[in-house]
Amino acid sequence: MNVNESQKVAALLKRHGLQEVSSQEEADLILINTCSVREKPEKKAFSFLGRIKSPGKVVGVMGCVAQQYGGEMLKKDRRIDFVIGTQALHRVPEILSHFLQDHQRIAFTEFVSDKESLSIFREPLATPGVSAYVSVMQGCNRFCTYCIVPFVRGRERSRPSVEILEEIKALTSHGTREIILLGQNVNRYGLDRKNDLTFASLLRKINTHKGVRRLRFVTSHPASLGDEIIHLFGELDTLCESIHLPFQSGSTRILKLMGRGYTREEYLDKIEKLRKIRPEIAISADVIVGFPGETERDFEDTLSLIERVRFDTLFSFRYTPRPMTRAAAFPSQIPEDEKLRRLRTLQTLQSKITYAKNQDQVGKIKDVLVEKPSRYPEGFMMGRAKDNRIVHFKASPTLAGQEVKVRIKQAFQNSLLGEMEEGHVH
């Protein structure tokens, strides 16, 4: 989401006459987009700020950390010239121009109207790629007890479907072939809008768009992922065989403390349904270890869920208390060294699963959407298979945007290496 918002702000600034440069030294303006979902990215933002050599440069901070600290940031760090909250990204050029005129440092973190806060997404991307993000909504209503998002991003606000479809039309006319819809909880798209599409009908509509070859969405909340969407994995030809479905804990007791709104069994039931409809579907998820009160038994439930589901990819994190959240005040916070031990145990287990599942791909022929030159020696391109696996293979850069068949020869921890099958470009 932050990547998409940074792209939008960059496009907006370009339209206002600014030029992108390739290094910090060359820049007159440094604008830092920040994330406060965990403690680590927040610390990263502050340490990046600390390393900026700023004489003569304008420094702005935007995003969730900006929203969280507001004017405090200006007091804390003299280098910062302006702070822009999550709902005012469309105002960056205006705030910048005021600062350049009167040199008054400013923090703008007010929540504005839905229409205004979503207006940044109308900005066309400056250089859309083969694969592009399209935000369909902002904010979240769920208030999971560990999560700062609803506080810093506000409540759910869906974009009008007309705008989303227009954006997709513009992207595909510039060569984009894969659309990744974005939202904190995409399944709730449209519920805040009268007489507009639901998420399922939006997916159906995008599926009929001629230029769209592939469609994905992120993130789904297990409690909001209903049967209608699950069935679409068996109906829509553009909908790729991958889903990100965070489970956060394998213990129903901890899920309740997290306020997640589903049990371990309900989560497993959704996975079973998805695999029944689309057996080859790749499943990725997020999980937190060391939530307050998590016992060894709860942690073992998480490990057993991982063993049962065998995720293709898993993003695992150690719990860190976030300001404003209920869980930060929960008793029985877990000591850091214990959280780390659990995280390492879990990651060792998952690494083996990921590697084994990648090895299972060797010998298969996969449909790969060619994206860009890969980090492999010259002459190699990278693309993604429908299950979202990264594939490197020898190919001409002119094939970017095409779907090709690639036979997998070797598998690594995070990617696959293959050879393009002759005569199978479409």
Site of interaction with ligand SF4 (CB under 6 A): 140, 142-144, 147, 149-150, 184-185, 221
Task: Tell me the closest approach of the beta carbon of residue 144 to ligand SF4, in angstroms.
Answer: 3
Task: Tell me the closest approach of the beta carbon of residue 260 to ligand SF4, in angstroms.
Answer: 7
Task: Tell me the closest approach of the beta carbon of residue 37 to ligand SF4, in angstroms.
Answer: 8
Our CB check for ligand SF4 shows the closer of 108 and 319 to be: 319
Our CB check for ligand SF4 shows the closer of 287 and 369 to be: 287
184 token code pair: 């904190």
Nearest Cα neighbor of 381 from 417, 351, 409, 329 is 417
Nearest Cα neighbor of 1 from 120, 99, 103 is 120
Our CB check for ligand SF4 shows the closer of 144 and 203 to be: 144
| Count of other CB atoms within 10 angstroms of residue 389 | 22
Task: Tell me the closest approach of the beta carbon of residue 184 to ligand SF4, in angstroms.
Answer: 4
Our CB check for ligand SF4 shows the closer of 184 and 350 to be: 184
Our CB check for ligand SF4 shows the closer of 37 and 281 to be: 37
| Count of other CB atoms within 10 angstroms of residue 201 | 14
Our CB check for ligand SF4 shows the closer of 134 and 144 to be: 144
What CA–CA distance (Å, rounded) separates 299 from 305? 10
Reported as half-sphere exposure (CB side, CA atoms, 13 A), residue 205 has a value of 15
Task: Tell me the closest approach of the beta carbon of residue 147 to ligand SF4, in angstroms.
Answer: 3
The amino acid present at 75, given as its one-letter code, is K
Nearest Cα neighbor of 391 from 378, 129, 401, 372 is 372
Task: Tell me the closest approach of the beta carbon of residue 188 to ligand SF4, in angstroms.
Answer: 9
What CA–CA distance (Å, rounded) separates 56 from 270? 55
The amino acid present at 24, given as its one-letter code, is Q
192 token code pair: 């805040």
Our CB check for ligand SF4 shows the closer of 92 and 287 to be: 287
What CA–CA distance (Å, rounded) separates 48 from 80? 12
Our CB check for ligand SF4 shows the closer of 184 and 316 to be: 184
Task: Tell me the closest approach of the beta carbon of residue 322 to ligand SF4, in angstroms.
Answer: 10
Nearest Cα neighbor of 178 from 364, 362, 15, 386 is 386
Would you say 243 and 220 are in contact if contact means Cβ atoms under 8 Å apart?
A: yes
Task: Tell me the closest approach of the beta carbon of residue 411 to ligand SF4, in angstroms.
Answer: 31
State yes or no: cis peptide before 219, omega within 30 of 0. Answer: yes
Nearest Cα neighbor of 278 from 231, 227, 216 is 231
Per DSSP, 126 falls in state S
